[in-house]
Amino acid sequence: MQREQGGRMFEAVDPRADFPAMEESILRFWKERDIFGKTLRTNEGGPIFRFYEGPPTANGRPHPGHVLTRVIKDLFPRYKTMCGFHVPRKAGWDTHGLPVEIEVEKELGLEKKDDILRYGVEPFVRKCMDSVFRYTAEWERLTERIAFWLDLGDAYVTYHKSYVESVWWAIAELWKKGLLYRGHKVVPWCPRCGTALSSHEVGLGYREVEDPSIYVGFRSAEDPRTYYLAWTTTPWTLISNAALTVDPEVDYVYARVGDERLVMAEARVGPVMGKMKFQVEGRVRGRELLGRSYEPLYPYARTDRKAYFIIAGDFVTLDSGTGIVHTAPAFGADDYRVGRENGLPVIQLVDPAGRFTPEVAPWAGRFCKDCDGEIIRDLQRRKLLLRRETVRHEYPHCWRCDGPLLYYARDSWFLATTKVIGRIIGNNRLIRWRPEHIRDGRFGNFLETNVDWALSRERYWGTPLPVWMCERCGDWEAIASMDDLRSRPGARGFDVFEKAREKEPDLSPHLAIHKPYIDAVTYDCQRCGGRSSRVTEVIDCWFDSGAMPFAQWGYPHVPGSREKFEACFPADFIAEAIDQTRGWFYSLLAISTMVFDKAEMPHPFRNCIVLGHVLNSEGEKLSKSKRNYTEPSELIARVGADALRWYFYSSNQPWTSTRFDDRAVAEAQREYIVKLWNVYSFFAIYARIDGFDPSEGAGQVRCFLSSEFAGARGYRPARERSLLDRWIISETNLAVRELRRALDDFDCYGAARVLLELCDSLSNWYVRRSRARFWKGEKDADKYDAYWTLYESLLTMVRMTAPFTPFLAEEMYRNLARSPWPSSVPESVHMCTFPEADESAIDEALSREMALVREIVRLGRAARTAAKLKVRQPLRLAEIVLANPADRETVRKHMALIADELNVKEIRYNDDIVPTQHASYAIRPNFKAIGPKHGALVPKIKAALEKADARAAYGEMARTGRLILDLPEKVELSPSEVEVVVEAREGYAASDSRRAVVVLDTGLDEDLIEEGLAREIVNRVNSLRSEMDLSYDARIRLTISGSDRVVSVCNRFADYIKGETLAVSLSTGPVPQGVATSEADLGGESAILCVSRA
RNA sequence: GGGCUAGUAGCUCAGUUGGUCAGAGCGCGUCCCUGAUAAGGACGAGGUCGGUGGUUCGAAUCCACCUGGGCCCA
């Protein structure tokens, strides 16, 4: 790199940075130099940090919640890369399933499942495949723009042939283990989509709706004037009623109304009958009702089996209803179970599309739920209805098409997760969840109530269920790959796809393993010689995503996949939002546990951060349709991606659902990014003015170690530098230690706090206290110390913040590190190693001392504010009363700093515990120490110490090492068990904390007033300089005219004023013509100031 | 109805195994600084830590109940 003139090593830094533009230029830099690719390769062969990307469905636009997920995912791989790990980061896309089909149906205007058949499965599936990448470009753009480094070029795609075959392999494995079975079960069913949903999908669609709530009488077959009263919110299921269920241990009564008797649980009589007139005529135990029969409500069902009688069940509740439960085995899980136990028929008079079958004469062909009203009116007409109301309750809806679900008995394919649930739970126990309560709370509970995984979907666009079944004998098996299929005897039908491809060479080869082509493949049944063909179903797309640990590599079929899989299993880290508890987290865990008999746990992931939902400023869920949030891209264009990233890391723990708005992001940016930038720009301004060049005299610098800087010009080891320098160096190293600890613990919020604090120390104490060292004229050792200290701190800070704010870090690194060492240091900050704490540079005692110094200064400022004395006005004296004599040394050591910061001439502090006119002492118990030891005596000790003379008590302790109290029990306290505190007395310019009181002498004499005046003059002149837009190092000529006093001050403090204003001359005569002048009011004195460029 | 989670300043959130004036940022008020300058900083006001009861020498923190919220499920 060519040096600029004047030995200016560093580029100028605009104090008002345009972050979005800066980021765009960094993006170009990364791309041109393939920095991400290089970081991926640098640690190849080293230890691996394993990260799994949960595949997003790219058929919608990303919103701020996705940004949260993605920046959390990015942080740890970046950090681990800098720590020397190889971190493969394969991207992935979830491409199958209902979400995709629904989008395509909408686009094609298809309303029902039949419409798809009319449109044609082949073109439909092809449409689906085309649509899955509709928003991929947008996702990729966002991913890149927020600097989520993910290997997008090598993404896994769930519809790819290798992926599907891997999923097939897993299913075949499960089949071999006896975990795949076909069952007739009541499943949550979407009549519009015409498919079953898994329990985790049902969880996605609960909505509050209004349903009828009716009480229906079933007339006894034995006594036509007795009615069994049942309650339901789904009148349409009454047509398929097969039995009534009671609790055998509950008391039932006969309630006479007119000349009819209603049977219901005794406990429900009140709520059910309400104000109706009735008489209780008898009581009977539920057990005694069993077996009694009643007349069916409707005659449409034909069945050979015995039905329409009373059975026992364990699910009868007395919280609602009548204690007698209408039972329709086809439409409820409990109903189905007791139906089976009692040999009941499964009466199913609703077809898969939710329409009544032709037998149901009055309502045949109509959507069942739409007939509720007419059924109710019919019952009313037949005087079988006691009452009708409506009820608002949560009812499951299809998570994609939004239609109401039915519980529906259906043949489906299941995975017997319940058989291995013990192992799944054991595996879960060993996973480190953040927050921890997920493990035994939400996720653990979910596992406890596990039901078998309803795997099959009667749909089109998905991984085909690899089950081939003989048409003749019904024997079936699961196929593990296309090769496996080809090797079956008499296999044929592959030509259907091949022919389609001949006609259309562009046809994706991945379609060969999808419907409808794969359905053409058949082979000979090995058992009976019949023909085996594939069952029609596809599988739940959650199985796809849960199979990614191996399917992303095409394991085990693809050559080399075994090595890759083994190297990257299990994951060290994953992160997704809380809604994935029942989604990806579950499918990953269940599949891994079922497929791999690994003794070594946990797998397939060790650490999981569960993210909270991002809400908008009103606390509402982000909703695409409501547009109730700012698009991430818009926000990034305004404030930059680093700001957004930093907001998500630093605002709160990532698992708390939090309100998010644009203003908060800007705040986060000011708090950290702008502050750090200001420190950086401060450094650059002065380094340029002074021509500070860290490479001058330095040897080979690669890792920014002090040993590498040793020979550089002006470089001295930290121990030879000032207290302040040593302090910030110590703070920096402490921060490195803390930051590593937090990040190793997956605690990004804690990590962000460490950075914030260091940034604040740097900006608001180190730079603030060091300013004068940078702008003084001579380039002495102290000035070099200041440069080197700030420079080294910034270099460390830049590497520490790199995983969090990668753009900011890169920009600063480019200037701070690459300018001086264009070839020896890594070309990107992201290729650097993460800083290591230099334990020898850590001085915790100094940290504590400086904390006290800052506390004293704060007290002094508060005292000034209270006395209305601006800092510009020097004061004679500040008295510091310290509670702890051990602190005296600290004050002595840092006296100059305190005096300067408070602008006082002299600091005095006490050398004994003597109450003064300003402050009093008290001695207090250290509760933490004495509590466990003295228990109930604590209040007495507290009272005794309150009365005690602090000085005497302290003296005794100093002499004897203990303090004996007579309560009258003798209690002995050691020095660590008490604490001396100090308090300001009323009426002085004083301010107190527990450890110190600072008192200001507010008296002003002529000397102090004149000095204050001199500072006023400096202040006004420098304001003028900035109004005139003078550069930082421009020299001026200064002319001041004013009162005798002003002139006298100018003469007395001429050197000071000239030094502070960079004036080459100061005259006190009349003001020359034609130059900038300003009339100033200097607190009572007026003057005319005239500044001209020298 | 069950489970989980949170209820802390006007707002967004911290608060380490219970330890004695309750923390930050923003906002607000009053100022300071003006050589980081359309930035930076200080000081201050503001909270009976949702309510009640309990355990304890001591509770924002532990327990019980109540109350309104969110999420998940039945």
Q: Where are the beta strands (DSSP E) in A403-517?
A: 406-415, 432-434, 453-454, 456-457, 467-470, 476-478
Strands A226-232 and A243-246: unpaired
pLDDT value of position A606: 93
Rounded Cα distance, A311 and A286, in Å: 9
* Residue type for position A1034: A
Strands A476-478 and A467-470: antiparallel
Distance A794 CA to B54 C1' (A): 54
* Nearest nt (C1') from A1062 Cα: B35
Distance A869 CA to B11 C1' (A): 33
- CA A278, A279, A284, A285 dihedral sign is positive
Among A74, A94, A372, A540, the active-site one is: A94
Residue A439: which pLDDT band, with cuts at 50, 70 and 90? Answer: confident
Contacts of A241 (CB under 8 A, 6+ apart): A218, A296, A297, A298, A308, A326, A327, A328, A347
* Active-site residue flag, A542: yes
- CA A392, A397, A399, A402 dihedral sign is negative
Q: Is the pLDDT of residue A5 over 50?
A: no
Distance A803 CA to B15 C1' (A): 26
Give the residue from A423, A537, A602 showing the smallest Cα distance to A171: A537
Q: What's the whole-number average pLDDT of chain A?
A: 86
Cβ–Cβ under 8 Å, residues A70 and A143: yes
Enter the tokens of residue A858.
């704060």
Stronger pLDDT, A72 or A390, i.e. the higher one: A72
Angle of helix A632-639 versus helix A64-82 axis, rounded to 10: 60
Give the residue from A42, A224, A75 showing the smallest Cα distance to A149: A75
pLDDT value of position A6: 45
pLDDT value of position A4: 39
- DSSP string across A844-900: HHHHHHHHHHHHHHHHHHHHHHHHT--TTS-EEEEEEEESSGGGHHHHHHTHHHHHH
Strands A1076-1082 and A1085-1093: antiparallel
Rounded Cα distance, A260 and A220, in Å: 11
Give the residue from A277, A81, A166 showing the smallest Cα distance to A799: A81
Burial (Cβ within 10 Å: 0-12, 13-18, ≥19) of residue A980: buried
3-class secondary structure, A614: strand
Angle at A260 between CA A257 and CA A265, to 5 degrees: 70
Enter the tokens of residue A398.
């299809």
Cβ–Cβ under 8 Å, residues A327 and A220: no
Q: Is the pLDDT of residue A544 over 90?
A: yes
Distance A587 CA to B70 C1' (A): 25
- pLDDT digit string (tens) for A416-435? 998 999 999 999 989 999 88
- pLDDT digit string (tens) for A1045-1089? 888 888 888 888 888 888 888 888 777 666 666 776 666 677 788
Q: For A829, which DSSP code?
A: G
Distance A640 CA to B3 C1' (A): 41
Average pLDDT score over residue span A743-748:
90
Average pLDDT score over residue span A8-32:
90
Residue entry with tokens 């009581």: A283
Rounded Cα distance, A804 and A1091, in Å: 46
Residue A352 has φ and ψ, to the nearest 5°, of: -60, -20
* Active-site residue flag, A94: yes
Among A30, A433, A468, A584, the active-site one is: A584
Distance A182 CA to B40 C1' (A): 71
Rounded Cα distance, A352 and A330, in Å: 12
- pLDDT digit string (tens) for A604-636? 999 999 988 887 777 777 766 667 778 888 889
Residue A20: which pLDDT band, with cuts at 50, 70 and 90? Answer: very high
Name the CA radius of gyration of chain A, rounded: 40
* Nearest nt (C1') from A449 Cα: B73
Q: Which H/E stretch holds residue A217?
A: strand A206-219
pLDDT value of position A941: 83
Cβ–Cβ under 8 Å, residues A586 and A199: no
Residue A402 has φ and ψ, to the nearest 5°, of: 75, 0
Rounded Cα distance, A1072 and A1017, in Å: 18
Average pLDDT score over residue span A695-718:
90
Enter the tokens of residue A315.
């699910």
Q: Is the pLDDT of residue A105 over 60?
A: yes
Q: Is the pLDDT of residue A816 over 90?
A: yes
Rounded Cα distance, A756 and A734, in Å: 13
Q: Is the pLDDT of residue A769 over 80?
A: yes
Q: For A985, which DSSP code?
A: P
Rounded Cα distance, A859 and A837, in Å: 33
Please give the protein residue whose CA is closest to the C1' of the nucleotide B24.
A753
Cβ–Cβ under 8 Å, residues A831 and A798: no
Enter the tokens of residue A94.
């979830």
Angle at A436 between CA A431 and CA A441, to 5 degrees: 95
Length of chain A equals 1094
Give the residue from A606, A507, A486 showing the smallest Cα distance to A557: A486
Cβ–Cβ under 8 Å, residues A116 and A124: yes
Enter the tokens of residue A301.
């069902």
Give the residue from A178, A192, A296 showing the smallest Cα distance to A242: A296
**How many Cβ atoms are within 10 Å of A719's Cβ, its own excluded?**
11
Q: Which H/E stretch holds residue A189?
A: strand A180-190
pLDDT value of position A201: 66
Among A461, A542, A655, A788, the active-site one is: A542
Among A169, A247, A580, A887, the active-site one is: A580
Strands A658-659 and A614-615: parallel
Q: For A659, which DSSP code?
A: E
Rounded Cα distance, A20 and A27, in Å: 10
Query: Which runs of consecutive H residues, i.e. helices, occur in A83-131?
Result: 98-108, 113-119, 121-131
% of chain A at pLDDT higher than 90: 35
Query: Which runs of consecutive H residues, i.e. helices, occur in A894-1041?
Result: 895-902, 927-934, 938-947, 950-960, 1006-1027
pLDDT value of position A220: 87
Angle of helix A723-744 versus helix A748-761 axis, rounded to 10: 170
Rounded Cα distance, A349 and A354, in Å: 9
Cβ–Cβ under 8 Å, residues A30 and A36: yes
Stronger pLDDT, A653 or A605, i.e. the higher one: A605
Cα atoms in the Cβ-side hemisphere of radius 13 Å centred on A464: 27
pLDDT value of position A3: 33
Q: Is the pLDDT of residue A1 over 50?
A: no
* Active-site residue flag, A624: yes
* Nearest nt (C1') from A204 Cα: B72
C-alpha distance from residue A336 to each of A184, A450, A631, A641, A893 (Å):
10, 18, 48, 54, 83
Distance A140 CA to B61 C1' (A): 45
The gap between the terminal CA atoms of chain A, to the nearest Å, is 33
Which positions in strand B are less than 7 Å from the protein's CB atoms? 1, 3-6, 11-15, 19-21, 25-26, 30-44, 56-58, 70-74
Cβ–Cβ under 8 Å, residues A920 and A951: no
**How many Cβ atoms are within 10 Å of A527's Cβ, its own excluded?**
13
* Active-site residue flag, A584: yes
CB burial string A444-478: b at 16+ within 10 A, e below: eebbeebebbbbbbbbbbbbbbbbbbbeeeeebbb
Rounded Cα distance, A610 and A586, in Å: 13
Our measurement of the distance from residue A419's CA atom to the centroid of its chain's CA atoms, rounded to an integer in Å, reads 34
Give the residue from A299, A213, A284, A292 showing the smallest Cα distance to A249: A284
* Nearest nt (C1') from A448 Cα: B3
Residue entry with tokens 């062909």: A365
Angle of helix A748-761 versus helix A641-650 axis, rounded to 10: 110
* Active-site residue flag, A905: no
Residue A430 has φ and ψ, to the nearest 5°, of: -95, -5
ipTM, interface predicted TM-score of the complex? 0.90
* Active-site residue flag, A149: no
Residue A286: which pLDDT band, with cuts at 50, 70 and 90? Answer: confident
* Active-site residue flag, A621: yes
Among A621, A776, A933, A942, the active-site one is: A621
